[in-house]
Structure 1
Amino acid sequence: MLRVALVNMPFADWNRPSFALGQLSTLIHREFDDRARAHVCYLNQDMAEFFGIRLYEALSMSHDHVDTGIGEWLFRHIAFPGEADTAAEYFQRYYRGARWADFRAQILSARDGLREFCEELIDRYRLDEADIVGFSSMFAQHVPSIALARLIKERSPQTLVVLGGANCEAPMGSVIAEHVPTVDFVFSGPALNTFGEFVQCVLDEDLERADTVPGILSERNCRDPRFRKAIGAERDIDDFFLPDYDSFFEALDGHPELRRTGTSKPMLFFETSRGCWWGQRSHCTFCGLNGESMAFRAMAPDLAVRQFEWLFGFAPAYTSLFCTDNVMPRNYSREVFPRLDPPPGAEIFYEVKLPLSRQDLRAMTDAGVTVVQPGIEALASSTLKLMGKGTTAFQNLQFLKNCEEFGIKPEWNLLIGFPGEDPAVYRKYTEELRDFVHLVPPHGVYMVRFDRFSPYFKRSDEYGLALKPVDYYSLTYPFDESALADLAYFFADQNLAPYMLDAVEWHDELSGLVTQWRAAWYGEDGAARRELRLVADDDGRLTVRDSRSGALRTHPVDAVTGRLLRRLSSPAKPEQLARDWPEGPDDLRQRLDTLTEQRFLFAENGRVMSLVLTGADGEIEEPAREEPATVGSRRLLPLLSEAPR
């Protein structure tokens, strides 16, 4: 019996299973049941206890740390022994000054004990006894995986060590195959087909055949362009099998301190689509999430419903469900969500593309889809146009208003520093952000990042960018400049361009305003949440309640102003409103002036929209066109009735 150990390394979130490794475990169970067995090992949870839960959560989740590559750098001395210690140079570049002194000491202390703890984990999970050890690598899992791979190989040279995941898509994976001898095979792109082929090669004792499979890289074939640039063939999304999460549940049971002291709630991953239907039409300039696989593929509604029913079966122990899709299929609000009966407390996360109609939002919330990442990114239409988002500031604000009404929590960031972004946008933000404090705030203000596979990366010359890997790569990997250029996912512009200087100049002020916004929204010091809302008393008299300043002010309004506020739930040009305003254009102008003075309106490019919540914050500005979820026909394949036990 072939023993396969599938390892989830730091800095994967401790509270979520590996969807990829769970699928591979089920794949082996389904296709090699009597010849191979797989077990998913959640070493990331052990590492969370080693580092301490608060430090681990910060390293794995906070922008302060994700963008510095510290999770990778921490394991450099194990992955690449004999190389110079770059600690002084690293901490000169990142985490400088007295503010970070305690953090630096904490990191260096943890680093001193890492190798010994890794050796202990190899013993605990008997990894050196496995025939195959497979690592899945995303973000800061790469060097930790290489480090453990080297220690396993030191003990058991005959163990086959393989590496896959988003960090390995061409050409990134070829660098590992070429420069890291302790990794025997690297899987580029989707691996649900290629990993099965590889396991068969091992069972047949014919490893040379694996070198002929596109999407599988080794030291022998990685220089051949046919393989260096290839990704694995994809498995039909409807050839679906439930991921094996048993090991995740066992791991959580074995680490009760994580649940007791951690700030994150355990949740389960699932998938209902791949690619991005919007990206097929207009690839957002900064987005590299889909790699080379932009084509949108959505799971058939019947299969999606059955998957949700399976997930709901884990309640009440697990009620938080996190969809890995880069964008929610548009037909699901009609063909999937109305068919769901979520358990009490169910909270489903999706990434969504705006605009969404109120009908869509109602279907989502009824199904338990109450946390979304809507891709807001900016509150200026000119910046959104630079991104290729296909949305406007009005639609973003309208969505935030609707979220308040429907009880949806949007997760979003305010991004700045886009090539060509007008600094007038930042000045406008400083004037307007305080007007939005009754709406869900962003997590923070962040400089846009240039990622591999994004249009900024692929067409860098067109955007005037001189991109090189961000600094932590050269401080972590002992590779030459050419190899780092193929390995890196995150890049920085080497030009001191005006767009960059403008963003740096405004960043701190904008960040301070967002901090105040978050304080207002989350009610620090016991303060009530801010509001800007049109209400009616029992006699029908209308009042706007405005506590955005921290003190409640009430503004009685007549029925005509109430009608205007409701009409301006969607943006309009004043001159167009004036044409059929029953009370006449002068009356309209006067009312608009008053609402402007009260900061009840958002204005941009000659249009205005009300910021006041009216309970009728109408349909989207421009209704989304209905399109098929996928192109072409698709056969419905059977769903495995249960995950392996």
Structure 2
Amino acid sequence: MACLSAFLKRHVPEIGCAVFHPYLELYQKIGLRLYDVISESSWISEAFGGMLLEPGHEQSQIWLIKKSLGRRSRRRLFNSSKEILKVRDCLKETLDVFLERHDWSQYDLCGITVSLNQLTSGLYLAREIKALAPSIKVVIGGAGVPEEVGQELLSQFEFIDYIVSGEGEKGLLEIVEGIKKGKPAQRGVIRGEIIEDLNELPIPDFTPYFAELATLRPSLRFSPVIPVEFSRGCFWGRCSFCNLNVQWKGYRRKSWQRLLKEVDFLSKRYKTLDFAFMDNALPPKEAKEFFDQVSLLGRDFNFFGELRASFSRKDAHLMKKAGLNIVQVGIEALSNSLLKRLRKGRTVMDNLASMRHLLEAGIELQGNLIMDFPGTSQEEVEETLSILKYAKYFRPLKPVSFWLGYGSPVFNDPKSFGIKAKRPHRFYSRIFPGRTFDVTMVCEYSGTLKQDRMLWKQVREYIQDWQKYWVDASKNGPPLSFRDGGDFVLIRQVMSQGQVLHHRLSQASRSIFLDTLEPIALEELIQRHSGISPEKILSFLKELQQKELIYCDGNKVLGLPVRIREKW
């Protein structure tokens, strides 16, 4: 909304443009813990909104909320249907007060952004605003309403006038200019034209958000994380499971100079240091330049971003120095065969190196391991298990079940992935009782799912053990680390059973080991140490691999211990 309002103010400065954030008031009513639990789950969020949009079916929606709670600590928050209905009432009261606070008849157009977990509450607001001001035009846009999904919503809900599919700026401007000229566009889906040069966009305007934030009780105010975008789309854009690029057409990026100017401006204007990149993956070359330059500003920035597993050890330390403290990396798999079917364009070696480099640099990794991908083979699961014994020394990955998303390559070509049939997810019938959808963002499928889940059961169990191991083994430092003594290195290794082993590598052994801290081809490693016979080098590497100190895939080798210079 900050981007869209800034765009409108630049191109049609004569119109009034108000921006509202009613979710801040809901946070104030129910508290951070409850708000987080609800907002982190699509099904829980949509079920609560569904109770307002489709009243009279609460038992169906309550069932879905309870089904989606998962962990015991979350279930305690909603230990009865009565507690769930209390939250429903808080949501309704918050939105109803918001609706009553404004004279909607003074507006010609109401725009509602629908992104992750916002569909039903957005539809409820749209319906109620239309009821209060029948002449107002209602437009819905965002990542949650692309293409056919948007068309489906338009056919289901008569109170929607327009759906903007794709980028919002030009589509919204087209609607505004039509209304301004007295010739509003006909009801329908408007395809948002892409912005070719992102450098031409105005800096987002977060002033209304910060003004509302200031109205919260002092004890509930917080320093928000400001979203910024370096790029739109994905420079790789081939992952078979991914549907994040449905709304984007083509890949474009800002220059690092423009982004540096944007972050500098936003930091000074709103007195904040916390930023999150909204990119599917930061552009590698430009990101290096940006982080190199932003560190020169001398401020204690805190960044979150998503990265492709293609950065070096040096890059990781540079990003950490600039303030990149938490990242999500597209690991997704620890099997080369599965990575090929996922079309990641990366290898197990790349993934392990990324996990290693981030841990050494002190950057928290939030990575996923996709479970139950259609057509998984026994060999892929066995390869994953064999790699996990090396990966366990790094921050644990989160197991995530594959889900079929609208617009992904798997969705578009299901037969190639062993999927026999696909359909809207059955949970939509819990959220929207009595309605039948032909197209939804989340789908179900039939094929090899039962077999896939059985195969991945052992991996799930291993990850549970990995998580427990990490908690204990990382108390006094990374589970596998080294210190350099100049002509020797000392390696500390915490084993699965808890015992601590110490290794010392001296002279040539040290030199060979240090050369493996970036993935290196065996042939190059042998050439660098031509004074030692290849047989001795290979024998030494075999010994290190047996001790789980290096990983070797037959062509390249990677040293796993991370260097520790500061207290953990």
What is the TM-score of this pair, normalised by structure 2?
A: 0.88
Contact 2:320–2:361 under 8 Å retained in 1: yes
Structure 2 residue aligned with 1:44:
23
Structure 1 residue aligned with 2:214:
253
Q: CA deviation at 1:92?
A: 7.8
Q: 1:98 to 1:354 in 2, by over 3 A?
A: closer
Q: 1:591 to 1:98 in 2, by over 3 A?
A: closer
SS at match of 1:291: coil
Question: Which of 1 and 2 has higher RCO (CA within 8 Å, sep 6+)?
Answer: 1
Structure 2 residue aligned with 1:5:
none
For 2:352 and 2:431, how far apart are their aligned partners in 1? 41
Correspondence for 2:233 among 270, 275, 282:
275
Q: 1:514 to 1:60 in 2, by over 3 A?
A: farther
Correspondence for 2:338 among 340, 358, 383:
383
Structure 1 residue aligned with 2:500:
552
Correspondence for 2:97 among 99, 111, 120:
120
Q: 1:86 to 1:507 in 2, by over 3 A?
A: farther
Gaps of at least 5 residues in structure 1 are 1-20, 212-217, 617-645
SS at match of 2:303: strand
- When the two chains are superposed, the root-mean-square deviation of aligned CA atoms in Å is 3.1
Structure 1 residue aligned with 2:160:
183
Q: Deviations over 1:587-632 (max 9, x none)?
A: 335433432332212244565432123589xxxxxxxxxxxxxxxx
Correspondence for 2:537 among 579, 588, 593:
588
Correspondence for 1:464 among 418, 428, 453:
418
Q: CA deviation at 1:286?
A: 0.6
Q: CA deviation at 1:269?
A: 1.0
Amino acid at match of 2:199: D
SS at match of 2:163: strand
For 2:258 and 2:482, how far apart are their aligned partners in 1? 43
Structure 2 residue aligned with 1:641:
none
For 2:171 and 2:552, how far apart are their aligned partners in 1? 53
Q: 1:285 to 1:491 in 2, by over 3 A?
A: same
Residue 179 of structure 2 is aligned to residue 202 of structure 1: yes
Contact 2:22–2:95 under 8 Å retained in 1: no
Structure 1 residue aligned with 2:319:
364
Q: 1:331 to 1:91 in 2, by over 3 A?
A: closer
Amino acid at match of 2:30: F
What number of residue pairs does the alignment pair up?
Answer: 557
Structure 2 residue aligned with 1:565:
513
Correspondence for 2:441 among 479, 482, 489:
489
Contact 2:143–2:247 under 8 Å retained in 1: no
SS at match of 1:162: strand
Which residues of 2 match residues 32-431 of structure 1 at below 5 A? 32-34=12-14, 36-61=15-40, 65-66=41-42, 69-81=43-55, 86-87=60-61, 90=64, 94=68, 100=75, 103=78, 105=80, 106-127=83-104, 130-207=107-184, 210-211=185-186, 218=187, 222=188, 231-236=191-196, 237-256=198-217, 259=220, 266-279=224-237, 283-291=238-246, 293-314=248-269, 317-333=271-287, 335-340=289-294, 341-430=296-385
Contact 2:307–2:328 under 8 Å retained in 1: yes
Structure 2 residue aligned with 1:625:
none
Q: CA deviation at 1:161?
A: 2.3
For 1:365 and 1:92, how far apart are their aligned partners in 2? 40
Structure 2 residue aligned with 1:633:
none
Q: 1:201 to 1:91 in 2, by over 3 A?
A: closer
Q: CA deviation at 1:140?
A: 1.1
Q: 1:418 to 1:178 in 2, by over 3 A?
A: same
Contact 1:438–1:531 under 8 Å retained in 2: yes
For 1:338 and 1:571, how far apart are their aligned partners in 2? 24
Contact 1:386–1:421 under 8 Å retained in 2: no
Contact 2:26–2:90 under 8 Å retained in 1: no
Structure 2 residue aligned with 1:531:
479
Contact 1:86–1:475 under 8 Å retained in 2: yes
Q: CA deviation at 1:431?
A: 5.2
SS at match of 1:403: helix
Contact 1:327–1:350 under 8 Å retained in 2: yes
Residue 490 of structure 2 is aligned to residue 543 of structure 1: yes
Residue 9 of structure 2 is aligned to residue 22 of structure 1: no
For 1:574 and 1:540, how far apart are their aligned partners in 2? 23
Residue 447 of structure 2 is aligned to residue 447 of structure 1: no
Q: CA deviation at 1:84?
A: 7.6
Q: CA deviation at 1:512?
A: 0.8
Q: CA deviation at 1:136?
A: 0.2
What is the TM-score of this pair, normalised by structure 1?
A: 0.78
Q: Deviations over 1:143-178 (max 9, x none)?
A: 001112222233332333221111121111112222
Amino acid at match of 1:293: W
Q: CA deviation at 1:570?
A: 4.3
Q: CA deviation at 1:448?
A: 1.7
For 2:319 and 2:516, how far apart are their aligned partners in 1? 25
Q: 1:474 to 1:515 in 2, by over 3 A?
A: same
Gaps of at least 5 residues in structure 2 are none
Q: 1:118 to 1:406 in 2, by over 3 A?
A: same
